Amino acid sequence: MRPVIYYMLLFSFVSLNCKKDTGPYSNPTSGFYNLSGNPSTSAWNYLNSANYKSLKIELQYMPGFKPDSRAIHIFTDLLNERLNKPSGIFIEEKEIDPTLMERFTLNDISGIESRNRTVFNHGDQMSAYILFVSGSYYDGNVLGIAYKNTSICFFGEPIRYFIAGGTEQDRIKLMAILLTHEFGHLLGLVNMGTSMVVNHIIAVDDNHCDNNKCLMHHTYEANAQNLILNFDENPSFDINCINDLKANGGK
């Protein structure tokens, strides 16, 4: 495990990470496909409609950590812009039981998913799982982690702390950024499972875009004004990331 993104967020100069994990890849015909692949190994199936015409995202959260519906709307709109899913993209939200844990390991997260996840690939519908837990990651101030080919987890306590100083619009925008950035890794960005049309990776050992205006860049500025300057009204991919997605079957 290594950090792949560092945030300087909302009046703070503390660096935070998002991480991605690795594990054995499973063939899409396997019943374990949703739980066994590396982040980005399902990128092609997410982006094009050859095998899956729709996408259903199961979003689960512990009490008190439900993401703002307006951030989810921004996130879903951006996915609709870039994924070829003619039958639609749907999100199913559900509150799950809390735990007594304050720090979560990968095994903890996987166990929670195994006990609670109900949506998997079925017929021509692709699936994804997004989990919001109440505590923090065991290894550093991590906001989010893409840990399987269809699975993402966000850590409520550090997110709550670092969005507390911003305006309501800042908080909505930041949550949309976090959701879409991590899903961008499931889509294979940058140079993870979706090949680059032109070289725009920030470093050979860092799967992030070299454009600091792009949603997939590894840092964001620390105040509301710069968030607005960087992302206008909503977060977005830059042209190089968009071209990569298109080349792998996206829009």
What mean pLDDT is predicted for residues 41-65?
Answer: 96
Task: Specify the amino acid at residue 65.
Answer: F
Q: How confident is the model at residue 39 (pLDDT cuts 50, 70, 90)?
A: confident
Task: Specify the amino acid at residue 209.
Answer: C
Higher pLDDT, 51 or 2: 51
Above 50 in pLDDT, residue 25?
A: no
Residue ranges of E strands in 80-141: 88-95, 103-104, 125-133, 136-137
- Write down the pLDDT at residue 18: 61
Q: How confident is the model at residue 221 (pLDDT cuts 50, 70, 90)?
A: very low
- Write down the pLDDT at residue 229: 43
Higher pLDDT, 131 or 163: 131
Q: pLDDT tens digits for 141-163?
A: 788 899 999 999 999 998 888 77
Question: Would residue 67 be called left, alpha or beta, if left means φ above 0 and alpha means ψ between -120 and 50 degrees?
Answer: beta
What mean pLDDT is predicted for residues 112-128?
Answer: 95
Above 50 in pLDDT, residue 2?
A: no
Q: pLDDT tens digits for 157-210?
A: 988 887 777 788 878 888 888 899 899 999 999 999 899 999 999 887 788 899
> CB under 8 Å to 46, separation ≥6 — which residues?
52, 55, 83, 126, 128, 186, 187
Higher pLDDT, 6 or 121: 121
Domain ranges for the chain, please list them. 2-247
Above 70 in pLDDT, residue 225?
A: no
Domain covering 2-247: architecture: 3-Layer(aba) Sandwich (3.40)
Q: pLDDT tens digits for 234-248?
A: 668 999 999 999 999
Helix (H) or strand (E) holding 61: strand 54-61
Higher pLDDT, 22 or 147: 147
